[in-house]
């Protein structure tokens, strides 16, 4: 469901950075429009909940039926996730996208798809369980598999950090799985450091339902 996607995505699964800076002249990083949230939802599903192939069937029509059911279920999940993203934007999330320059990321036939996305918000910091106001929380950093190692992850990070600076906050928190070497390398290279756990920060992680995934909390001032 939607909650499961956000629980996994909060771990900020990210591609490993490229040693060679990307040429981003043909791309832009900007805030997603309301009409682009469906494309954002599809990208998040592709990255955080990849589609599994249909189970083999004895008869061809059964395989077709399974594939059709999977497509229908996935489209419905994307619709629900897009609605959830819209609600997040309404209460203060800023969703950035990396997209081809001057091309709407609407996923329409003939259009070019979204390349990456990241969510920057205050709502996770303001939960009554901990009330860590004064900073922002970054999550759901995702780059399309066909466009990784081109510097898009770093570009999305820079956009989120510029927004945090404009808002005058203390810094940015994020969670990452301890086993995700690529993401750890990306964040450390960008200046994020692991935070020593305190009772308050442990409560914060628990409130986001991340304790099962061996998360590391990181922060950049």
pLDDT of the chain, 221 residues: tens digit per residue: 545 555 555 555 444 444 334 445 578 999 999 999 999 999 999 998 887 665 555 566 666 777 788 889 999 999 999 999 999 999 999 999 999 876 555 554 444 579 999 999 999 999 888 878 899 999 999 999 999 988 999 999 999 999 999 999 999 999 999 999 999 999 999 999 999 999 999 999 999 988 777 899 999 99
Coil vs helix vs strand at 195: coil
pLDDT at 120: 98
pTM value is 0.81
Buried (b) or exposed (e) across 109-136, using 16+ Cβ within 10 A? eeebbbbbbbbbbbebbeeeebebeebb
Q: 47 vs 8, 71, 125, 140, CA distance in Å? A: 10, 16, 25, 9
Place of tokens 């020593």: 196
Nearest partner of 21 among 141, 121, 152, judged by Cα: 152
Tell me which H or E stretch contains 205: helix 199-207
What are the residues whose beta carbons fall under 8 Å from the beta carbon of 146, sequence distance 6 or more? none
CA count, 13 A, side-chain hemisphere, 25: 1
pLDDT confidence of residue 60: 62
- Calpha distance 216→84 (Å, rounded): 25
Half-sphere exposure of 132 toward its Cβ, with a 13 Å CA cutoff?
Answer: 24
pLDDT of residue 27: 82
Give the model's pLDDT for residue 10: 58
CATH of 2-220, picked from 3.40.50.2300, 3.40.50.150, 3.40.630.30, 3.30.465.10, is 3.40.630.30
């Amino acid at each position: 469901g939607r909650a499961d996607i956000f629980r996994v995505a909060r771990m900020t699964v990210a591609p490993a950075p490229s040693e060679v800076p990307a040429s981003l002249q043909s791309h832009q990083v900007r805030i997603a429009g309301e009409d682009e949230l469906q494309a954002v939802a599809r990208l998040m599903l592709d990255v955080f909940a990849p589609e599994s192939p249909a189970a083999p069937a004895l008869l061809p029509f059964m395989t077709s039926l399974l594939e059709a059911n999977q497509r229908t279920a996935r489209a419905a999940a994307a619709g629900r996730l897009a609605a959830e993203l819209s609600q997040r934007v309404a209460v203060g999330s800023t969703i950035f996208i990396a997209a081809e320059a001057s091309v709407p990321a609407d996923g329409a036939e003939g259009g070019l798809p979204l390349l990456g996305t990241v969510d920057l918000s205050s709502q996770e910091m303001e939960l009554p369980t901990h009330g860590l106001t004064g900073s922002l929380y970054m999550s759901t950093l995702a780059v399309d598999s066909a466009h990784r190692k081109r510097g898009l992850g770093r570009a999305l990070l820079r956009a989120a950090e510029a927004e945090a600076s404009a808002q005058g906050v203390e810094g940015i928190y994020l969670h990452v799985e301890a086993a995700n070497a690529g993401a750890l390398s990306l964040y450390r290279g960008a200046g994020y450091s692991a935070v020593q756990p305190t009772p308050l920060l442990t409560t914060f992680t628990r409130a986001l339902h991340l304790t099962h995934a061996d998360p590391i909390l990181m922060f950049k001032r």
